[in-house]
Amino acid sequence: MRFGRLRSWAVVAATIPAALGLTSIAAPAHAETSPEGANDWNCKPSFLHPRPVVLVHGTFENMAFNWQKLSPALKKAGYCVYALNYGGPKDGPIQGINDIPTSAGELSAFVDRVLAATKTSKVDIVGHSQGGMMPRYYMKFLGGAAKVNKLVGVVPSNHGTSLSGLVQLGSLLGITQAVVKAAPAAGQQITDSDFLKNLNAGGDTVAGPTYIVLATKYDEVVTPYTSEFLNGSNAQNVLLQDKCPNDTNAHVGIAFDPVMIKFVLNSLDVWGPYWPIDCNNPLG
């Protein structure tokens, strides 16, 4: 019954961009479709871009929808780009809903596959929302710290949010409140959940990787937005409006924001963590 209700996403998926004011974006109809530029298993990292980039989508989303803009931009810049679906039924349009530690195990297996294909020892990870937080579990408890160079979290749910915030996300994406409540990952992202207490116990970061967080003060899903920030000597927190005061993108829209794309490109650059951004023409 629950998954039958989840499949109703396919009916409303085409209306999401319009609802978000993203009328130039065509919503993918097939969740297992890789975003443009991703999952070329013959790609070989270059001297300037020595690490493959793994894209991790957010709650109630999928790789095809979440990474429509960032994936091709990274590919164009010369990166080997990989994306996965996790935490949902195979080929289901709604992903990122299942138990988060189990999803972290899926990420672990995917990273190993990427490392084997590219013959590299580490990846960089870029994640949106849950996708910016869940890899921290992989890095802390599943041996991922030795395999990750940087984690760039875009509006990550690092210290949780209110149930109303997750319901708001479901509303933005055309999903009913009942589905939000039925998703284990939603409950695990509520502030002070047992999952988050365990994840953040003993410190937000682990030694080795670099953590970079991009937040927006207009976030209506992860609230307050400051809960996205991480503490740690290897963590860097950036508020979007400190760089571009007129950028009003919120939780979902930031995934399509050219400023975010430029920020990620700069953060992944070997000369990073980030350079000044032209807010009016971020991609040149």
Number of Cα atoms under 13 Å in the Cβ half of residue 263: 27
pTM reported for the whole predicted model? 0.87
Asked if the structure places residue 278 within a domain, the reply is: no
- What is the spatial distance between Cα 180 and Cα 187, in angstroms, rounded to a whole number? 9
Residue-wise pLDDT tens digits, 202-230: 999 999 999 999 999 999 999 999 999 99
Asked if the structure places residue 145 within a domain, the reply is: yes
Asked if the structure places residue 275 within a domain, the reply is: no
pLDDT band at 182 (very low <50, low <70, confident <90, very high): confident
Asked if the structure places residue 276 within a domain, the reply is: no
Asked if the structure places residue 283 within a domain, the reply is: no
- Structural domain for 6, as ranges: 2-268
- What is the spatial distance between Cα 101 and Cα 138, in angstroms, rounded to a whole number? 8
Residue-wise pLDDT tens digits, 235-283: 999 999 999 999 999 999 999 999 999 999 999 987 665 668 999 999 9
Least confident of 42-46, 161-165, 211-215, 245-249: 161-165
Residue-wise pLDDT tens digits, 9-27: 333 333 333 333 333 333 4
Asked if the structure places residue 273 within a domain, the reply is: no
The arithmetic mean of pLDDT across residues 136-155, rounded, is 98
Q: At 116, which CATH number?
A: 3.40.50.1820
**Total domain count for the chain?**
1
Asked if the structure places residue 96 within a domain, the reply is: yes
Asked if the structure places residue 108 within a domain, the reply is: yes
The arithmetic mean of pLDDT across residues 133-159, rounded, is 98
